[in-house]
Structure 1
Amino acid sequence: MKNLNSLLLAIIALVNLQRINAQSADRFFPKADLMTIGSYYYPEQWPRQYWERDIKKMAEVGFDFTHFGEFAWSFIEPEDGKFDFSWLDEAVELSHKNGIKVIMCTSTPTPPAWMVQKHPEILMVNAEGRTMQHGSRQHISWSSPVYKKYVERMVEAIGKHYGKDTRIWGWQLDNEPSHYGQYDYSPAAQISFRKWLQAKYKTVDKLNEAWGTAFWSIRYNNFEQVLIPNQKELIAQPSPHAVLDFKRFSADEANEFLGLQYNILRKHILPTQWITTNLMPEHVEVDPTRINSLDFVTYTKYLVAGYDKGTGPQGFRMGSATSIAFANDLFRSLNGTTGVMELQPGQVNWGKFNAQPLPGAVRMWIWHAFAGGNKFVCNYRFKQPLTGGEQYHYGIIGTDGVTPSTSGLEYIKVINEINTLKKHYDANATMPPAYKKRWTAVLYNPDNRWEMDNQPQTNQWDFMAHLKRYYVALKQFGAPVDVITEEKDFSNYPVMVAPAYQLLDANLVARWKQYVQNGGHLVLSSRTGQKDRTGKLWEMKWAEPIYDLIGAKVSFYDLLPDSVQGTIKAGTANYKWNNWADVLEPMAGTETWATYTNQYYAGKVAVTHRKMGRGTVTYVGPDTDDGALEKAVLARVYMQAGIAIEDYPEGVMVDWRDGFWVGVNYSGAAYNVAMPAKGKVLIGSKTMQPASVVVWKD
């Protein structure tokens, strides 16, 4: 394992080197600007005579920037090799005339019809073997060498045309690069996957060893025999090791596709112009932690579309408080800089059901983005479309083209509020000591998520729900949270939570031990340490690599049907579980914090805690539905560490940023925010009603 650890350290060093330029992405955004606000506009979708009126209206509303071109390839290159920027030049000049900066986009999600007709091999193929057709977006294969050639030519042309244009603020590559929950099984992807495997394993023997292909006689004689693992084409389940590698490949393919565009643009654009893309946090086929080729990464967020009913009877009109919060803490933590490139502007058209947001909710979302450290917020879109696939999707301006929608009025209000807040900005403000002492890392690796999504072992296992049970508790404690990857320095954080960290190696366990011995407080949870990085079970006792760290053995795990409840006792409190439970056997010197109280192993240990050096390690065996046990365990960890915590109700979050405290209320009841007597409310009221905000300074 020594050689493997050396290789991993080398990879980490390389990734850090690749991100050196991105570390200074903060330079693009003056701190005194706090957070700027803009809106998408599509000049190609509206008659020319409306452009001047619409862009002037954007300026009147108070928008600082707009966003052009991510779906406009057929207008930029109407015929093969013939580029037309005249219409876009006109729109850019109108924006400049009205004091609005421009984010320019590459149009790679929407290739023109002439290209697809000429080169159908650029289309992606889904798991059912269906070749996608022209008529929507993101229907092409990132692996297609033909498509990449067209991308290179188009990006080169737009980069040369606008690269030295000071009216351009920054650049967005593609738009929500993904295949919307699907994977690409095209011939081009198949060829690229084999090349990826060959680069990783060098020889087919090493691939056979890593994938355990002796099982079911899957063994390969050469890389040409390897097929993308596709459950739709297999009688039984595919190799889990192959599935894990395919998901890694797919994420790397997206990163390579974006990096291709980045490198072309950087040759032509001004150093003051930044380059990003926007990802959807819940879409697993493209993971932000693997995007290391840009200046920074932004996110898309829609909270009210019927998928998350939030908290309380009107929660479906506000969404979950963790939705924006988790995206903030993940994307900001990648390199310290992020923004919301696409935020829901009101009612949408594509959800399970498309409710009206509660009055005030849109304003609350914008302020929540501010609280999470975002440099800008851009809403999608300025005008509600009259044609196309999103006719029922709200805009800032309604269907008459002149009247602000209800959410448009909320944007206007926030823009004015932020302008007021700028007057109170203090460049010398520092994070309050009590708040900083609660600073917590949540360790996240998409490999764990992908591996467990493929082998959940129970229909009740949900990796992100499990992670967010801990995350929600941390936010209720008022802890500032960074969702980090292993390449980060652990020593900055008094507390670290690594939920369900199933895949690991000796190097990570050693780093955890060092973190704890130096005074850190580590919390691990069910399924941690079961497998190595390839997804193989260890040839030793179950999860044995973590025994010395947690001071306990994992005897076995249990899973219950959804109609049966397991019970747990911790102190005087009782809890229930039925998703997953690691049954523990503590070693000498390790404390028992909770025990199982039913099933045949009643009296066995559920939660352990031990001291190590100047820190502690806590292991939580069960995964509950309500998160009550997880919250209680975390609270005890903080208490014993001497770290004071808050106790905000579900749906209420309070964060500190740039000298300002920001509270948001996604709950169903009013909440009175406790603040010092000298605290000065700048925005809102100390009593937060549902879907409302308070901003104050101590």
Structure 2
Amino acid sequence: MKHTDALNDLRLGVCYYPEHWPEELWDDDFRRMRELGFSVVRVAEFAWSIFEPEEGVFQFGLFDRALDLAHKHGLKVILGTPTATPPAWLTHRYPEVLNATQEGVTLRHGLRRHYNYSSPKYRELSAVIVRRMAEHYKNHPAVVGWQIDNEFNCEISEFYAPADHDAFREWCKAKYGTLDKLNEAWGTVFWSQTYTGWEQVFLPRPTPAHKQPNPHQALDEKRFISDNTISYAKVQTDILREVVPHHWLTTNGLFGHLDSHRMNDDLLDFFSYDSYPQFSTIYYDSNEENRLADRGWSQTLGTVRSISPNFCIMEQQAGPGGWVNRMDMPSPKPGQMRLWTYQSIAHGANMVLYFRWRTATFGNEIYWHGLNDYHNRPNRRIREAGQIGAELAEAGSRIASTRYAADIALVRDYDNDWDGEYDVWHGPFAWQSGKAWFKALTRRHIPSDTLFIRGGTTIDELRRYKVLVYPHPAIMRDETAALLEQYAREGGIVVFGCRTGYKDERGHCYMRPFPGAAAGLCGISVEEFTMVKGSREATFMQWDGEGGAKTQADSFNDVLQPESDTVSVVARYSSDYYAGKPAVTRNAIGKGEAWYFGAVFNEASAGQLIDRLGLSSPAAGWLELPEQVELAIRRDEAGDLCFLLNYGEQPAEIAVREERTDLLTGRRLSGSVTLEGFGVAVLSR
């Protein structure tokens, strides 16, 4: 039974590692946490060697004392199952539990997440430690919930131990039943790859062209990894549902090769995420023009929200971050930690825990700074956390009942995400177009959701939105196209980009005119197409209308041919040999529309479509905001809460034409208002 009330309250907390600190520090630590307004701590997710120092020998004393003391101070506790870090005795005695590279090199003890999910022995020993912990703490008054493992598929999301090859073979048998069906799905007649015995079937292995396997096998590999990860997690959740049915269950992450939506639906009460906004700068947009930097993290939080409308941030960045040899992030400037906290809350978080209480003095994370520095003296970050705690003590109950509200969704699906990792003819385009749309929307103060199309997606899920942007779904089942057509006929607007609809769920190309499954919905065919790279210079498109704009047609060009009199041409290519040919079309279908954009989106072209679709900020009638301020809306029956998040270091001038109350200060605001650098306001009627 799901604990649907688990996030009814808005809680603030912190990650704590009592095993890292002298016991005489604990009481003062917990006391100061409560003074900051914290009410929950996470512990134990890396402590297997503390609980079970030798196989079959269990010791709970250290955490018993820590949990008793936390309870004394009024703190609730989230227990982590410690299976992300198997102890040395385990990996030494049972080396078959270790993961391996594709080349077969065993990944040894010394970091974390060095195990494989397929090992029967690892599943057995994981079940033992989870059951013993659950039975021991099932009646502890401080414990409210459990985090399963820690960051599934972090560090590595591919698995090639012997047990993984065996498990993949069994997964293929269950999926296909016969070798004939497997051979058909993988297209093994190409290059004489046909399998004649199940013992010949493996996960992708090194090939003469390095990591270039059969593409259909590679797609199934990702599906297997996801299913196998969920199967391993289920070993733990089944035990916890049996032994501690009164506790809620979650896990933290959002990593590769894992259907987190299915994991949440099948196993968890809600999803949790680890929010480090500076990752956006150092990993995702360091070389990008007009970048969003930490504001771009809001798009990632939209993905989390698609899994769990309200969620937990199990680790919220609280300081400069980094391991000894990587992730060297600078310290947040004054106000940024508070900004990032409200960024998470604005996008749906009802529980936020900072990582971590005090910076570790040893190990790989000695530079992953928490709220307290090594010296344990008061600092700026502690003062900022105290301000947030005081604000949420007043405003938290009003925020907790609300959910994020948006009329437009950026659409994704796992098949295309996973297929696109290998397929350069569509994979790189999805991130580029999704980012372009998010930039164009957020800078116009139009909130957006992320929506994953899945096998069980219903028309009711689509009806929540006025516009769906599905940039490059190369893989599209006919059933998905039919669902989208129904959505459009009922009045919805769906927008596609190039490389849409030409593959089936196996990754095979349809023997149909492009855009394949989406052709009828869009009312067009693709006359021809080309990559735009190398010797092919940048191309452009001219939009219709008086003074029509000219925008670049990035990366790939589909030259379009209307096939129905319901199709109108909205833009034409203005360069190269196909100048004058249709580049953007609109098909009137039922009460709605289907748009096809023949290139990869950039911010300017997304802006053209936003304007032509008549999209505007939901607060346009009463609120004027500069570009540097994000608008996010959480809503319930009592009305809207408008989160204003200033990502600029300089103050932002806003105009409030209808008086509102800032929940964080209690002030009534109207007219010209200054929002300080990295400032936040939450406006309510």
Superposition TM-score, scaled by structure 2 size: 0.90
- 1:457 and 1:312 map into 2 onto residues whose CA distance is 22
Of residues 292, 302, 323, the one that matches 1:329 is 302
Q: Is the 8 A contact 1:638 1:644 kept in 2?
A: no
Output aligned runs, 1:574-585, within 5 Å: 574-585=550-561
Q: Which residue of 2 aligns with 1:567?
A: 540
Tell me by how many angstroms 1:647 deviates: 8.7
Tell me by how many angstroms 1:649 deviates: 5.6
Q: Which residue of 2 aligns with 1:673?
A: 654
* AA at the equivalent of 2:557: A
Q: Which residue of 2 aligns with 1:338?
A: 311
- 1:191 and 1:426 map into 2 onto residues whose CA distance is 46
Q: Which residue of 2 aligns with 1:630?
A: 606
Q: Which residue of 1 aligns with 2:341?
A: 366
* AA at the equivalent of 2:55: D
Of 357-366 and 570-579, deviating more is 570-579
Q: Does residue 1:27 correspond to 2:2, yes or no?
A: no
Q: Is the 8 A contact 2:360 2:374 kept in 1?
A: yes
Q: Which residue of 1 aligns with 2:678?
A: 691
- 1:634 and 1:178 map into 2 onto residues whose CA distance is 36
The SS at the match of 2:381 is helix
Tell me by how many angstroms 1:651 deviates: 4.7
Q: Percent identity?
A: 31
Q: Report the CA distance shift for 1:612/1:96 in structure 2 as closer, same or farther (over 3 A).
A: same
Q: Does residue 1:152 correspond to 2:127, yes or no?
A: yes
Gap regions ≥5 residues in structure 2: none
Q: Which residue of 1 aligns with 2:508?
A: 536
* AA at the equivalent of 1:275: L
Output aligned runs, 1:174-253, within 5 Å: 174-231=149-206, 237-253=212-228
Tell me by how many angstroms 1:581 deviates: 2.0
Q: Is the 8 A contact 2:566 2:589 kept in 1?
A: no
Of 462-471 and 59-68, deviating more is 462-471
- 1:216 and 1:496 map into 2 onto residues whose CA distance is 40
Superposition TM-score, scaled by structure 1 size: 0.89
Q: Which residue of 2 aligns with 1:652?
A: 629
Output aligned runs, 1:377-388, within 5 Å: 377-388=352-363
Q: Report the CA distance shift for 1:640/1:40 in structure 2 as closer, same or farther (over 3 A).
A: closer
Q: Which residue of 2 aligns with 1:100?
A: 75
Deviations 1:50-102 (A, max 9, x none): 22222222222221111110000000001111111111111001101111110
* AA at the equivalent of 1:606: A
Tell me by how many angstroms 1:468 deviates: 2.2
Q: Does residue 1:411 correspond to 2:385, yes or no?
A: yes
The SS at the match of 2:614 is helix
Q: Is the 8 A contact 1:314 1:668 kept in 2?
A: no
Tell me by how many angstroms 1:648 deviates: 6.0
Q: Report the CA distance shift for 1:639/1:134 in structure 2 as closer, same or farther (over 3 A).
A: closer
* AA at the equivalent of 1:663: L
Output aligned runs, 1:288-303, within 5 Å: 288-291=260-263, 292-303=266-277
Gap regions ≥5 residues in structure 1: 1-20
The SS at the match of 1:237 is coil
Tell me by how many angstroms 1:407 deviates: 2.5
Q: Which residue of 1 aligns with 2:39?
A: 64
Tell me by how many angstroms 1:312 deviates: 12
- 1:39 and 1:410 map into 2 onto residues whose CA distance is 14
Output aligned runs, 1:308-319, within 5 Å: 308=283, 319=293
* AA at the equivalent of 1:665: N
- 2:532 and 2:286 map into 1 onto residues whose CA distance is 27
Q: Is the 8 A contact 2:392 2:664 kept in 1?
A: no
Q: Report the CA distance shift for 1:668/1:397 in structure 2 as closer, same or farther (over 3 A).
A: closer
Q: Which residue of 1 aligns with 2:98?
A: 123
Q: Is the 8 A contact 1:70 1:106 kept in 2?
A: yes
- 1:132 and 1:90 map into 2 onto residues whose CA distance is 35
Tell me by how many angstroms 1:328 deviates: 2.7
- 1:309 and 1:651 map into 2 onto residues whose CA distance is 19
Q: Is the 8 A contact 2:13 2:39 kept in 1?
A: yes
The SS at the match of 1:375 is strand
- 1:128 and 1:461 map into 2 onto residues whose CA distance is 26
Deviations 1:494-514 (A, max 9, x none): 221212111111111111111
Of 129-138 and 551-560, deviating more is 551-560
- 1:79 and 1:233 map into 2 onto residues whose CA distance is 44
Q: Does residue 1:450 correspond to 2:424, yes or no?
A: no
Q: Report the CA distance shift for 1:278/1:539 in structure 2 as closer, same or farther (over 3 A).
A: same
Root-mean-square deviation (Å): 2.8
Deviations 1:375-403 (A, max 9, x none): 101111101111111111111111112x2
Of residues 111, 114, 121, the one that matches 2:89 is 114
Q: Report the CA distance shift for 1:516/1:149 in structure 2 as closer, same or farther (over 3 A).
A: same
Q: Does residue 1:469 correspond to 2:436, yes or no?
A: yes
Q: Report the CA distance shift for 1:628/1:339 in structure 2 as closer, same or farther (over 3 A).
A: same
Of 208-217 and 335-344, deviating more is 335-344
Q: Which residue of 1 aligns with 2:591?
A: 614
- 1:516 and 1:181 map into 2 onto residues whose CA distance is 40
* AA at the equivalent of 1:580: F
Q: Report the CA distance shift for 1:681/1:375 in structure 2 as closer, same or farther (over 3 A).
A: closer
Q: Is the 8 A contact 2:409 2:467 kept in 1?
A: yes
- 2:591 and 2:180 map into 1 onto residues whose CA distance is 45
Deviations 1:121-153 (A, max 9, x none): 100002343211111100000111110000011
Of 405-414 and 378-387, deviating more is 405-414
Of residues 260, 285, 288, the one that matches 2:257 is 285
Q: Is the 8 A contact 2:646 2:679 kept in 1?
A: yes
Output aligned runs, 1:18-97, within 5 Å: 21-22=1-2, 25-30=3-8, 33=9, 35-97=10-72
Equivalent pairs, count: 659
Q: Which residue of 1 aligns with 2:491?
A: 519
Q: Report the CA distance shift for 1:201/1:309 in structure 2 as closer, same or farther (over 3 A).
A: closer
Of 179-188 and 651-660, deviating more is 651-660
Q: Is the 8 A contact 2:144 2:248 kept in 1?
A: yes
Q: Report the CA distance shift for 1:526/1:91 in structure 2 as closer, same or farther (over 3 A).
A: same
The SS at the match of 1:251 is helix
Tell me by how many angstroms 1:640 deviates: 11
